[in-house]
Amino acid sequence: MNRALMAAGLSSLVVLLLALPLIMPLAKLDISLGVTVLLFGLAAASVNLLVGYTRIMAFGNAAFFGLGAYGAALFVQYVMPNFLLAIVVGSIAGLLGALVLAPFLIRRRGIYFALLTIAFGQVFYFIAYRMTKITGGEDGMTVTRPALRLGSWSLGSHETSFYYFVLVVFLLVMLGLWYVIHSPFGRTLVAIGQNEVRVRYLGLNSDRFIFHALGISGLIAGIAGALYAMSIEFAYPLLLDWHQSGDFVMMVILGGSGTFWGPLLGSAIYAIGQNVLSSWTHAWQIIIGGLFVACVLLFPRGILGLSMRPRADIAREDEVYEPSAAPSAAAKAEAP
Amino acid sequence: MSTSVGARSLERADGANGALLEAREVSLSFGGVKAVDGVSISLQPGDLQAVIGPNGAGKTTLFNALTGYFMPDSGEVYFRGQPITRAPNHERVRMGISRTFQTPSIFPELSVAENLRVGINSQSALAQRFRPLSLAQRRALDDRIDELLRFVNMRKARDRVVSLLSHGSQRLVEIAMSLSVSPALVMLDEPTAGLAEAEADRILSVIRDLHARLGLTVLFVEHNMRIVSALADTVTCMNRGRVCARGAPAQVLADPTVREAYLGTEEIAAV
Amino acid sequence: MLEHLLPEIINGIVLGAFFAIVAIGLSLIMNLTGTINMAHGSFMTLAGYVAFVLVSRGTNFWYALVVAALLTMVVGILTERLLVSRLYGRLPIYSLLLTFGLSLIAEETYRLIWGPTGVPFSPPSYLLGAVPVFNAPLPSYRLVIVAALLVAMAALVLFLFKSSLGLRLRAAVQDSEMLAALGTNTRVVYTANFAIGILLAGVAGVFAAGLLGLNPTMGNELLMPAFITVVIGGMGSLTGSIVGGLLLGIAVSVTTLYVPAASELVLYLLMAVVLLIRPRGLFGEEGIFG
């Protein structure tokens, strides 16, 4: 019964996504918003891998997203206007960003880890902000989206064909993510999210798993960022800012942290919500902020999270692993 | 599948003077308080030793120092003759030490089978794989899960979510998990705490089987003196971070210093 | 050369004092309840705007400072009681998101009320002069800031180590369960802790308004350096926040003089270096206030 429901849900989703270019104009929405939903959905999925499955407090993924955006934009601007290569370069930029930061992040957990992801994530923001001659600084850089040529077939600058391209990439990446999450590696990540101490006491070095998870997360966010820059033909520093990271995390929580399609749902709510709200009122940020607050307080499991097993959401003192645990942490643990 | 759960423990059992685990003068302080003060303990392969002592004596802290949850401030720990004093906890597990915790350390939202899977995969170096398991590998995994569940007599609970199980069942799952890594030494921290007599007896027989049928070396912390007397061949008593008595159960439990350590506590009535 | 450098070093100390006081507030809140207060900057900005409103109605600067800081503290207490406290015990990401959401609401509210580009807020005219120190003229306002922040830190230390509530606060960081078992109303302690953190933010906010300019995102600009100060100084260390703050302040100031484009990057560079050498931070231990 569950399987049939899942299959039905999945097919409806695919149909919806395929038909989006027809549906959106009916709601007076532009198809580029659909592209944004998909790409933010990927970025949120990259966060979900860390926050939802592995349950580590990653609050700096906008850095990888932004690196992807700038990687693609800079490549088109300064190297060559090749669409596919730009996406590849952007994706690798995201991956490298994660690999550069990972050694610093690995050593900590909990709020210290969150703090480090926030702080280190900002480095790239400042680099983009300051290197005005190369990146355009605060004003960002505009690029013209190169046409995608596959052999003799050319994907013009028509928005709808671009949407379908992004949709294909989205589905492929999600498929890859599905594969990873259901692999033994992914199962171990979930176990780490449940109880990292126990994973270590089963002989596994959780640090290495988290390192790889960060890499995968960076790669996915990089892909999303690269495509996003090509979509809006613009790359700007705020894409790298912690506010953007916070938005991605919020999408994950809204949609359902630890669920597979939660990030896409959260992205849709956020992106469409923001688009619609901003046309109604200048103060849309208050409403969005209010939504965040309400979600965290009232439905922290998110929409799709309601269908999951009850969560042990309270961080138990004895289950929080500290890589180089200092003795007084034990003072709070069980009696010696 | 002929390999028994604890076969590895019978294969190698060398080490300085044959000891499987040896700790010398281990000390560990927390903010000025010496929780473990110059404790030495030694286990030969096949030993079944209990650590007793009043609350706050340092028993769990000793376990933490021995298993790498914390690094001792001073002293040395050897496993099979190899120094492991500063080894990370996951490496000690790979070398053959396994443990349980006072509060069962399990994966609460996962099923019993999924709980066991991680340790089994870890043992067969499959845990980090991105490729899905082959049919043969999955079958081997299922067989092993079955074997472990049969050992703790929990096959019926295979697909149940662990957080919904009774406390006693959770402890049994945890013991099964600690076996999934084919250890030579199993350290159990208060395995019967919070259990009624009937459930405690289940644990008792499992521990007995660990030792007798699988040939594992067992070190366990216990407050239940009946179980201590029934199982242990050696008892170490700790008080205020130090070893205050050591020997055969009858002898230790009759020791006046041990009685004094427990003075005023309920456990002494059971002795 | 020293003549060039000295004013920058003094400037660095002023900046560092800001970093330190904001970091201490953040650290207090983080340490006791595991809450990363992403709205800390918003509280600073609030205090700035309240002081602005009061001063533009003719109130004395110092009076406005006190009222603004206290009012901001009250808002902080309400925030903690009504919102933040509901998330104690949950995974830290939730309080992170809550405070993030609050910062979004605050920022937009300030924008709506007072406009996006900021309002003029200057310190009282008698502080606009300069005082010659070692042959370099130093703006009096900056000296006053350092003095005031030093006073605030001294008051905090006095409170923590000499008052009974301060004692309970320090005890709570060690072991709140035990403290509750001993009969203390830990809720009060948590609220008081948050309140102190916000009070410090409020004081810093009013001074920052006169120094950096008052606009809806003023507080956020100090937030990141404050986080880095906490990381470098070591979580849970009062001394660490102060030393780390000063170190960072001077580093930023000096860098601004020689390599302006790298003035923020030096923060991250230092953080990376410190973390590589001492992962716990300069004074980081799990024990508090050491």
Residue spans per domain, chain C = 2-277
Of A243, A282, A293, which has the smallest distance from its Cβ to C98's Cβ? A293
Of C93, C175, C230, which has the smallest distance from its Cβ to A57's Cβ? C93
Q: Hunting for tokens 């594969």 — which residue is that?
A: A179
CA dihedral sign, ordered B107, B110, B116, B119: negative
Alpha carbons C68 and C202: distance in angstroms, whole number = 7
CATH number of the domain enclosing B92: 3.40.50.300
Of all residues in chain C, the percent with pLDDT exceeding 70 is 95
**Is the Cβ pair A202, B64 closer than 8 Å?**
no
Question: Touching A: which chains, 3+ CB pairs < 8 A?
Answer: B, C
Alpha carbons A61 and A46: distance in angstroms, whole number = 8
Tokens linked to B122: 């870890």
Q: How many CB pairs under 8 A join A and B?
A: 135
**Residue range A137-171, pLDDT digits in tens:** 888 999 988 887 766 566 656 788 889 999 999 99
Classify residue A298 as exposed, middle or buried by CB count within 10 Å of its CB (0-12, 13-18, 19+): exposed
Q: How many residues does chain C have?
A: 290
Structural domain count, chain B: 1
Of all residues in chain A, the percent with pLDDT exceeding 90 is 65
Helix (H) or strand (E) holding B244: strand B242-247
Tokens linked to A311: 């969560």
Q: ipTM, 2 decimals?
A: 0.91
Q: Within its chain, how far is the Cα of A139 from the centroid?
A: 24
Tokens linked to C189: 């302690």
Residue B128 lies in a domain: no
How far are the Cα atoms of A104, A274, B19, C131 from residue A52, in angstroms, in the given order?
Answer: 21, 24, 44, 56
Residue A140 β-bridge partners: none
Q: Which CATH number fits domain C2-277: 1.10.10, 2.60.40, 1.10.3470, 3.40.50?
A: 1.10.3470
Q: Choose the mutation target among A240, A292, A314, A321 for the interface with C, i.e. most C CBs under 10 Å.
A: A292
Task: Quote the pTM value.
Answer: 0.90
DSSP state, residue B110: S
Of A194, A203, A209, which has the smallest distance from its Cβ to B94's Cβ? A203
Q: Residue A189: what pLDDT?
A: 97
Residue B120 lies in a domain: no
Alpha carbons A286 and B44: distance in angstroms, whole number = 67
* Residue B60 belongs to domain spanning: 7-110+184-270
Contacts of A178 (CB under 8 A, 6+ apart): A260
Cα of A250 to nearest chain C Cα, Å = 7
Residue type, B125: A
Q: Residue B267: what pLDDT?
A: 54
Alpha carbons A319 and A197: distance in angstroms, whole number = 6
CB distance from B94 to chain A under 8 Å?
yes
**First vs last Cα of chain A: how many Å apart?**
49
User: DSSP letter string over A10-47?
Assistant: HHHHHHHHHHHHHHGGGGT--HHHHHHHHHHHHHHHHH
**Residue range C185-237, pLDDT digits in tens:** 888 889 999 999 999 999 999 999 988 889 999 999 889 999 999 999 988 78
DSSP state, residue C137: E
Q: Minimal Cα distance from B72: which residue of A?
A: A327
Tokens linked to A163: 């949407």
A101 has a pLDDT exceeding 60: yes
Candidates C261, C208, C212, C254; CA nearest to C8 is: C254
**Residue range B61-112, pLDDT digits in tens:** 999 999 999 999 999 999 999 999 999 999 999 999 999 999 999 999 999 9
Alpha carbons A137 and A172: distance in angstroms, whole number = 33
**Is the Cβ pair C101, A324 closer than 8 Å?**
no
